[in-house]
């Protein structure tokens, strides 16, 4: 999928494929340096993190395992409520492991706040977070996110894993959505 497939639905490209890949190169180099001599358990949060997980993991040189969680917010509509239920739990016992949560976006921060508490309660050696995108102006909780790709404005963004109504995840870049697409939400 590229922009020509859905040009009417997009407002503007916020981050090009080249910008995403260049930033992932930098993040991977930092993570490699920080975890030198250790093994990492990457925990991807379905479904949005699929692209960043695949592209970040392939750039890392430290040994990694990869596992996945799927979570869902209780409550209304598209907004995160902070009350989360697990749809798919990890297959891995994280006790004593160095865990790196991999997210596509931290918006209100409520999902991540819950995930951090949940994973920390399982006795890992460490838990840190890598997110491709963060919306600082939307934050409802203050979180220590160690690896951030890009801070972005509070616009509706899609692509590179991020969806609107489950669509646009397979765009290779991040774009803002044209208002007419989500006007009836
Ligand atoms: C998105 C994203 C984060 C969460 C961030 O997931 O992947 O997990 O929302 O929002 P928050 O900071 O306001 O809690 P979503 O629930 O849209 O599911 P998806 O990954 O399957 O698209």
CA distances (Å), 55 to each of 22, 59, 123, 145, 151, in order? Answer: 11, 7, 28, 19, 19
Catalytic residue among 18, 32, 91, 107: 107
What is the model's pLDDT at position 60? 98
What is the model's pLDDT at position 82? 72
Please give the model's pTM, rounded to 2 decimal places.
0.94
Phi, psi of 66 (to 5 degrees): -125, 130
Q: Which atom of ligand 1 is nearest to the CA of 109?
A: 12
What is the model's pLDDT at position 3? 77
Is 25 in the active site?
Answer: no
Contact between 39 and 65 under an 8 Å Cβ cutoff? The reply is yes
Residue pLDDT, tens place only, 137-162: 999 999 999 999 999 999 999 999 99
What is the model's pLDDT at position 80? 67
Q: Whose CA is nearest to atom 16 of ligand 1?
A: 72
Q: Containing H/E element for 149?
A: strand 147-151
Q: Which atom of ligand 1 is nearest to the CA of 104?
A: 7
What is the model's pLDDT at position 79? 65
What is the model's pLDDT at position 74? 67
What is the model's pLDDT at position 77? 57
**Which residue of 45, 53, 82 sits with most ligand 1 atoms within 8 Å of its CB, as the best mutation to test the pocket?**
45
What is the model's pLDDT at position 76? 54
The low-confidence residues of the chain, meaning pLDDT below 70, are 74-80
């Amino acid at each position: 999928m590229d922009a020509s497939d859905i040009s009417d639905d997009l407002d503007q490209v916020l981050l090009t494929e080249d910008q995403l890949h260049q930033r992932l190169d930098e993040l991977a180099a930092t993570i490699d340096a920080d975890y030198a001599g250790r093994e990492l358990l990457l925990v991807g949060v379905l479904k949005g993190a699929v692209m960043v997980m695949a592209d970040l993991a392939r750039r890392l040189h430290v040994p990694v395992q990869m596992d996945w969680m799927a979570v869902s917010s209780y409550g209304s509509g598209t907004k995160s409520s902070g009350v989360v239920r697990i749809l798919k739990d990890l297959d891995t016992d994280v006790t004593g492991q160095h865990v790196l949560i991999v997210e596509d976006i931290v918006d209100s921060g409520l999902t991540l706040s819950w995930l951090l508490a949940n994973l920390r309660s399982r006795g890992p050696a460490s838990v840190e977070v890598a997110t491709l995108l963060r919306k600082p102006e939307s934050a409802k909780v203050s979180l220590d996110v160690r690896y951030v790709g890009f801070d972005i404005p509070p616009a509706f963004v899609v692509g590179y894993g991020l969806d609107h109504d489950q669509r646009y995840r397979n765009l290779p870049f991040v774009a803002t959505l044209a208002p007419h697409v989500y006007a009836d939400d």
